[in-house]
């Protein structure tokens, strides 16, 4: 009940903003590109250690990601290229954010940590592969949306992790959760990949079984048991040939 109410108000806010943008004749593809530029700015903030500001900027980037599709449907500008562009720039956005975090953990500061550089890299690979496995699977089967950690969930986790990194606030259980967020993404993204691989295997197995023709069963050849039988058969063939 509560989640349904939140979802309904969220849709109202999304549609209202999309109508406002449509009034200014903003093209959906332009909004997609703006979302990428905003994400690059968030990555720069991550790289310089300004996590709280990066979290706020990521909220704006996420809003652009949500609104471009709604704006395209509202203004009847849904195109194949628009969907392709959105997918490509989403992949860039995913990678850029993680690169910003890797730069932060690699810098020669008190927060420098090779371990977290590697962990962030693992999370980045998992995020990319989550999207790739779905795209590749849907070339073979109608749909592959199984798994927990899709892009909205990853973005939400990164926003939560960034907003909990409050400078100067120590000792609170609810703060400094970015390391925990990276652990979650690193584990759950690869788990989602495994789920999608297994799901695609099951679906393609079923399709292959339905598509494969039944192997023809040839009747057993019965050997003639004696020379008399062979001769009789040859005689029968000769008669049929001359008739």
The pTM of this model reads: 0.80
**pLDDT score at 24:** 87
| SS3 state at 8 | helix
Cα torsion 180, 184, 186, 190 to 10°: value is 170
- Mean pLDDT over 16-22 rounds to 91
The answer to whether the beta carbons of residues 28 and 68 sit under 8 Å apart is yes
**pLDDT score at 38:** 97
In terms of Cβ atoms closer than 10 Å to its own Cβ (0-12, 13-18, 19+), residue 34 is middle
| Strand residue runs (E) in 88-226 | none
pLDDT band at 6 (very low <50, low <70, confident <90, very high): low
User: What is the tens place of the pLDDT at every residue in 75-106?
Assistant: 999 999 999 999 999 999 999 999 999 999 99
Instruction: Measure the CA–CA gap between 118 and 111, rounded to whole angstroms.
Output: 14
- Tell me if 118 is assigned to some domain: yes
- Tell me if 234 is assigned to some domain: no
Instruction: Measure the CA–CA gap between 232 and 48, rounded to whole angstroms.
Output: 97
Give the C-alpha distances (Å, rounded to integers) separating 188 from 82, 98, 224. 29, 16, 67
pLDDT band at 225 (very low <50, low <70, confident <90, very high): very low
| SS3 state at 114 | helix
- Tell me if 235 is assigned to some domain: no
- Tell me if 12 is assigned to some domain: yes
Task: Name the nearest CA neighbour of 181 among 46, 71, 25, 45.
Answer: 46
With 70 as the cut, is the pLDDT of residue 31 above it? Answer: yes
DSSP conformational letter for 212: S
- Does the annotation count 90 as an active-site position? yes
Tally of structural domains, the chain: 1
Q: Which of 65, 68, 86, 90 is catalytic?
A: 90
Structure tokens at 130: 């989550």
- Tell me if 210 is assigned to some domain: no
- Tell me if 66 is assigned to some domain: yes
Which CATH number goes with the domain that contains 60?
1.20.120.1760
- Give the range of the structural domain holding residue 176, as residue numbers without chain letter: 2-204
**Of 117-121, 139-143, 179-183, 226-230, which gets the smallest average pLDDT?**
226-230
Instruction: Measure the CA–CA gap between 162 and 98, rounded to whole angstroms.
Output: 12
**pLDDT score at 214:** 57
pLDDT band at 67 (very low <50, low <70, confident <90, very high): very high
Instruction: Measure the CA–CA gap between 102 and 24, rounded to whole angstroms.
Output: 38
User: What is the tens place of the pLDDT at every residue in 103-146?
Assistant: 999 998 888 889 999 999 999 999 999 999 999 999 999 999 89
- Tell me if 222 is assigned to some domain: no
- Tell me if 215 is assigned to some domain: no
């Amino acid at each position: 009940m509560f989640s349904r109410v939140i979802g309904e108000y969220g849709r109202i806010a999304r549609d209202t903003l999309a109508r406002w943008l449509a009034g200014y004749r903003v093209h959906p593809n332009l909004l997609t590109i703006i979302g990428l530029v905003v994400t690059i700015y968030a990555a720069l903030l991550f790289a310089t250690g300004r996590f709280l500001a990066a979290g706020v900027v990521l909220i704006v980037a996420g809003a652009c990601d949500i609104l471009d599709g709604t704006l395209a449907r509202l203004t009847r500008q849904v195109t194949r290229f628009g969907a392709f562009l959105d997918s490509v720039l989403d992949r860039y956005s995913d990678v850029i954010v993680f690169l910003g975090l890797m730069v932060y953990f690699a810098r020669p500061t008190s927060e420098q940590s090779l371990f977290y550089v590697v962990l962030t890299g693992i999370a980045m690979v998992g995020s990319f592969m989550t999207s790739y496995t779905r795209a590749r699977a849907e070339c073979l089967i109608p749909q592959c949306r199984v798994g927990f950690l899709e892009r909205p969930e990853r973005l939400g986790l990164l926003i939560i992790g960034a907003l909990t990194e409050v400078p100067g606030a120590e000792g609170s259980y609810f703060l400094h959760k970015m390391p925990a967020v990276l652990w979650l993404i690193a584990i759950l993204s690869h788990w989602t990949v495994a789920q999608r691989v297994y799901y695609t295997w099951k679906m393609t197995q079923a399709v292959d079984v339905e598509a494969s023709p039944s192997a023809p069963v040839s009747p057993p050849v019965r050997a003639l048991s004696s020379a008399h039988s062979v001769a009789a058969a040859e005689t029968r063939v000769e008669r049929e040939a001359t008739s």
